[in-house]
Structure 1
């Protein structure tokens, strides 16, 4: 499938991503294929191939069809197995990588990412992916670069933990009034930021919110009972929970040298 994809106009490389690339998948996990393109991919040709491999009509979302960061692609079932095609603009990925090397990143609003899409996920996907088809070796060359975590990005993401403290302070104002929605959003945001900071501190790519807390807990020097304390705070969503979250933020910032 990857070989046929790279034969289509615009598709420069195909990489296996997600849990299957990292070896953390379950038997029922999807197969995530990153389709790296330049220019405008031929959506009609992609749709025709998707329909052929699926054995039934398929729909391919055009670039931007799934939002500003996830881009587009298709959700397919091939021989009963879920296979996701995920479009990635290689020029944009390279531009984000250039920003990361300078310590710059964005957090964009994106459906499916309740804590926002953190732009370093683009180079992170390349770093953790497995090349399947890369005729021009463009993505392979980029992978060689992104496996060296940039020190300016490490500093920027660990410093971003200040916002976790700010979010907990906002929750502290809402907890006495019983505004559980606002408290839950503030604490969830804080915990998502902590996961990014802990990963960056150890020069490890954090791609999204799914599994981020457990992955952060497995890193060296992460505060004790990290995930348990997160769970307790999110179950409580009261003044006591906010103070528990504040303590965890302080412990993480201390672990990251901040």
Structure 2
């Protein structure tokens, strides 16, 4: 399939991503194919390859970051085509090397799409078809985690403390939804910083906690403590206030550990 995809005008190369690329898949896991293109993509040729029963979303059709693609079934197995503008990926990679990142709103990413995911996908993926060698070259370059990005993501962990303060105000009003959202975001910010501290690419929220709790900056019982906060924050002022107090301690411990790991 990858070899056929690179015959489509505009397609530069194809990369296997997701859990299958990392060897962390289950039997039912999807096959995620990153379809890297440049300039104008021949959507008619792409749709002809997918078949008449498949809806191929044009660039931007799935949102500003996941872009577009298609969901296919091949012999009963789910295969996802995920479009990636190679020039944009290169620009994000340049930003990451300079210590810059952004977090965008994107369907399917409840804690936002963190731009370092773009080079991270290449670094952790497997090149399947690459006639020009551009994907292999980019994969080689992204294998080294940028020091300035590491510093930026660790510094950005201040937001977790800010969010806990906001959650305390919600707890005083017994606003369970607001407290839950603040604490989920706070944990997400910490996890991104923890991955960066260990010089590891964090691609999205799925499975991130299971990895984060094994990292050097994880305080004692980080995973169980996060699961307790998320699983039952409470619905009264007293219960929510106690949850926020536990979250405040966890955030402080994690930030302290990240500070000790910086440099």
CA distance in 2, matches of 1:94, 1:221: 30
1:257 and 2:253 are equivalent in the alignment: no
- List gaps (5 residues or longer) in structure 2: 235-239
Residue 195 of structure 1 deviates from its aligned partner by: 0.6
Aligned residue in 2 for 1:13: 13
CA distance in 1, matches of 2:167, 2:119: 33
Residue 257 of structure 1 deviates from its aligned partner by: 1.0
Aligned residue in 1 for 2:134: 138
Residue 49 of structure 1 deviates from its aligned partner by: 0.5
Aligned residue in 2 for 1:248: 250
Q: Which residues of 2 match residues 72-151 of structure 1 at below 5 A? A: 72-151=68-147
Aligned match of 1:181 in 167, 177, 182? 177
1:236 and 2:233 are equivalent in the alignment: yes
Aligned match of 1:208 in 204, 214, 224? 204
Residue 221 of structure 1 deviates from its aligned partner by: 3.8
- SS at the partner of 1:66? coil
- SS at the partner of 1:12? strand
- SS at the partner of 1:114? coil
Residue 176 of structure 1 deviates from its aligned partner by: 1.9
CA distance in 1, matches of 2:41, 2:254: 43
Q: Is the 8 A contact 2:194 2:217 kept in 1?
A: no
- SS at the partner of 1:256? helix
Corresponding pairs, count? 254
Aligned residue in 1 for 2:165: 169
- Output one character per residue of 1:116-161: Cα deviation in whole Å (capped at 9) or x when no partner: 0000000000000000000101010011111111100000001110
Mean Cα deviation higher: 96-105 or 241-250: 241-250
Aligned residue in 2 for 1:47: 47
Q: Where does structure 1 differ by over 4 angstroms across 4 or more consecutive aligned residues?
A: none
- Taking structure 2 as the reference length, what is the TM-score of the superposition? 0.95
1:34 and 2:30 are equivalent in the alignment: no
- List gaps (5 residues or longer) in structure 1: none
Residue 231 of structure 1 deviates from its aligned partner by: 1.4
Residue 102 of structure 1 deviates from its aligned partner by: 0.4
